Amino acid sequence: MVWNTMSGFGNAERGNNPSPQRPLMTLTYRSRATSPLSETQLGDLQHAAAIRNSREGITGLMVYNDDRFFQWLEGPPASIARVWSSISRDQRHADIEALSVHSAPTRLFGKWHLRLSTGPADAVLGGVHAENAAATNVAAERLAALAIAAEPNDARVLLHAAYADFQSMSAVTELLIEPAARRLGDLWADDDCGEYEVTLGLCRLQTFLREIAVDNVQQQHAHPLVVLVAPLPGEIHMLGASLDAEALWQAGHETRIRFPSTEQALKQIVATDWFDAIDLSLSPAFTREHRADQMTHIIDAVRRASMNPSLVVIAGGRAFYDRRLSGATVHADATSTSAAHLPDDLARARRAHV
């Protein structure tokens, strides 16, 4: 059985928050089960904890995967303290580690006294794609708001909770990080935040991405490609390039990420080292379609300067996701609308190029 975490993210925005005027505290922790729990045991644990949390005015999420627990609790400080005391004494788990304890402006799981998520990642993802697209959109909107909050730790915990559920960097990228980046651009367009806040939020998402990805293992690729990943010179938003580099590296390619500040610097890179392909990105938050002519010029210049006369060029960024620009418009061999699909996009572009 699978309880879908992402449904919790979505419905929390629509749920009724118990005692909304009371001060709220958020506590997150992780631990290890002292022995594997059956589905029945997990159901009993969730039922008993939900009754207790209801009595205490607490809502939250629990993830159980590979005999590990991750839990997010939110509610009145005194109630959190009582429940944490009980959790700390529970003999069913060990290696209990509090990750964060801090005040919170609102609840993320206001509809559930305890939302439980477990099961294989592919089953969870299937449920998200088939039934909960709207919920994931709400989760991404929430992540964007948290990323530009004065205290961004809630954004960090939300991403770590999603990754603990999915166990898939591609899923976290496509369902949360990239939509959150686009949401930041929308907030700016609606005058709900400034460009500084957008850039700050993207930098924070990039930082949290590295925390999640640090323990990932590279796949073995039969024929790895040497790929240069870079934001277009002059593009200050680096998140797209970081997501692309991570996806290509995990797919088994030799990925080199650079941040050239000028066209000349980029041409120097491809003129002195061999690359099978180059991935150039615009902002993941703003459309930047006004930079199409510059991108076209730079791609043409890079091809002329490259040591590889058959260099494959892929363009990415929100302008291509929104279809305001096409690959042909900027003289690229292909475009990528998500880092999650970039390895496949690259493979198709290589086949077509050859």
Whole-number pLDDT of residue 174: 85
Mean confidence (pLDDT) of the chain:
84
Q: Enumerate the domain spans of the chain.
A: 5-213, 226-353
- Element spanning 184, H or E: helix 178-189
Q: What average pLDDT does range 75-93 have in this prediction? A: 92
99-119 residue pLDDT tens: 777 766 667 677 788 888 764
Two tokens at 333? Answer: 């061999």
Q: Strand, helix or coil at 31?
A: strand
**Lowest-pLDDT choice from 213-227, 237-251, 280-294:** 213-227
CA angle 138, 143, 144 (to 5 degrees): 100
Q: Write the DSSP string, 42-99.
A: HHHHHHHHHHHHHHHT-EEEEEEETTEEEEEEEE-HHHHHHHHHHHHH-TTEEEEEEE
- For 48-79, what is each residue's pLDDT tens digit? 999 999 999 999 888 787 788 888 888 999 99
Q: Which helix (H) or strand (E) holds 240?
A: helix 239-250
Residue 107 backbone phi and psi in degrees, to 5: -90, 150
Right CATH number for 5-213 from 3.60.15.10, 3.30.70.100, 3.90.320.10, 3.20.20.70?
Answer: 3.30.70.100
Superfamily for the 226-353 domain: Cobalamin-binding domain (3.40.50.280)
Sign of the torsion angle spanned by Cα atoms 143, 145, 148, 151: negative
Q: Full-prediction pTM beyond 0.75?
A: no
* 10: confidence class by pLDDT, cuts 50, 70, 90: very low
Averaged pLDDT for residues 3-24: 40
Amino acid identity for residue 309 in this structure? P
Q: 8 or 254: whose pLDDT is higher?
A: 254
DSSP 106: S
Judge whether residue 238 has pLDDT over 60: yes
Distance in angstroms (rounded) separating the CA atoms of residues 181 and 159:
13
Task: Write down the pLDDT at residue 137.
Answer: 66
- Quote the pLDDT of residue 5: 31
- The radius of gyration of the chain's CA atoms, rounded to the nearest angstrom, is 22
User: Under a CB-based contact definition with an 8 Å cutoff, are residues 230 and 194 in contact?
Assistant: no
10 Å Cβ neighbour count for 38? 8
Alpha-carbon distance 247 to 338, whole Å? 10
Write out pLDDT tens, residues 173-218: 988 899 999 999 999 999 989 999 999 999 999 999 888 888 777 8
Q: Which of 59-63, 93-97, 246-250, 292-296 is predicted with the least confidence, judged by mean pLDDT? A: 59-63
3-state secondary structure of 328: helix
**How high is the pLDDT of residue 283?**
96
Q: How many CB atoms lie within 10 A of CB 154?
A: 24
